[in-house]
Amino acid sequence: MNRAGPSGAVDRAPPLPAPTATAHLLGVAGLLPFAAGAALIWWVDEALQPYAVLAFSAYSAVILSFLGGIHWGFAMRQGRPAVALLWWGVTPSLVAWLAVLLPAAALSLLLHGLMLWLCFAVDRRVYRAQGAAAWLPMRLRLTVVASLGCFVGAAGA
């Protein structure tokens, strides 16, 4: 039976394969709402901007929830899941939900962008420990573009 270490690592966790071409394609497709959201905030009529911000913020929250859920997937591979994986798994969702509720649109998108980077920082450590290091280069590229969309959108809100 595998035992969880202090970092949420499973001793001798088998390495996961690198992302497939389909995973790359879907990852890039998932960036389209980040690009569209940032552009819409800058280009839509002022009366429609709150809707563009809400749509962008909601999508960002969904993606942050997805990133947290990956940690629950790692935990599920363990006989005794590391509690840190479970706690971190819900943290991005909760922070993103609070960000959606913020009355200041720019602050909401700024918080999403910062949270994307915090997720990546945590993932750099956890993915290696979980045998998923091959996914980190793609995660970095997706984080750069997604957070840039959030920051550009925040600047226009």
**Cβ count near 77 (within 10 Å):** 15
Domain ranges of the chain: 33-156
Report the pLDDT value the prediction gives residue 111, as an integer from 0 to 100. Answer: 98
Per-residue pLDDT of the chain (157 residues; tens, 9 = 90+): 344 444 544 455 789 999 999 999 999 999 999 999 999 999 999 999 999 999 999 999 999 999 999 999 999 998 899 999 999 999 999 999 999 999 999 999 999 999 999 999 999 999 999 999 999 999 999 999 999 999 999 999 9
Report the pLDDT value the prediction gives residue 79, as an integer from 0 to 100. Answer: 86
How far from 7 is each of 3, 11, 83, 115, CA to CA, in Å?
A: 11, 11, 10, 20
- Report helix, strand or coil for 89: helix
- Report helix, strand or coil for 10: strand
Report the pLDDT value the prediction gives residue 12, as an integer from 0 to 100. Answer: 53
Give the Cα separation of 123 and 129 in Å (integer). 9
Report the pLDDT value the prediction gives residue 14, as an integer from 0 to 100. Answer: 84
Report the pLDDT value the prediction gives residue 29, as an integer from 0 to 100. Answer: 98
- In angstroms and rounded to an integer, the radius of gyration of the C-alpha atoms of the chain is 17
Report the pLDDT value the prediction gives residue 2, as an integer from 0 to 100. Answer: 45
**Cβ count near 65 (within 10 Å):** 17
Report the pLDDT value the prediction gives residue 13, as an integer from 0 to 100. Answer: 75
Global model pTM greater than 0.85: yes
How far from 39 is each of 3, 42, 106, 131, CA to CA, in Å?
A: 47, 5, 14, 37
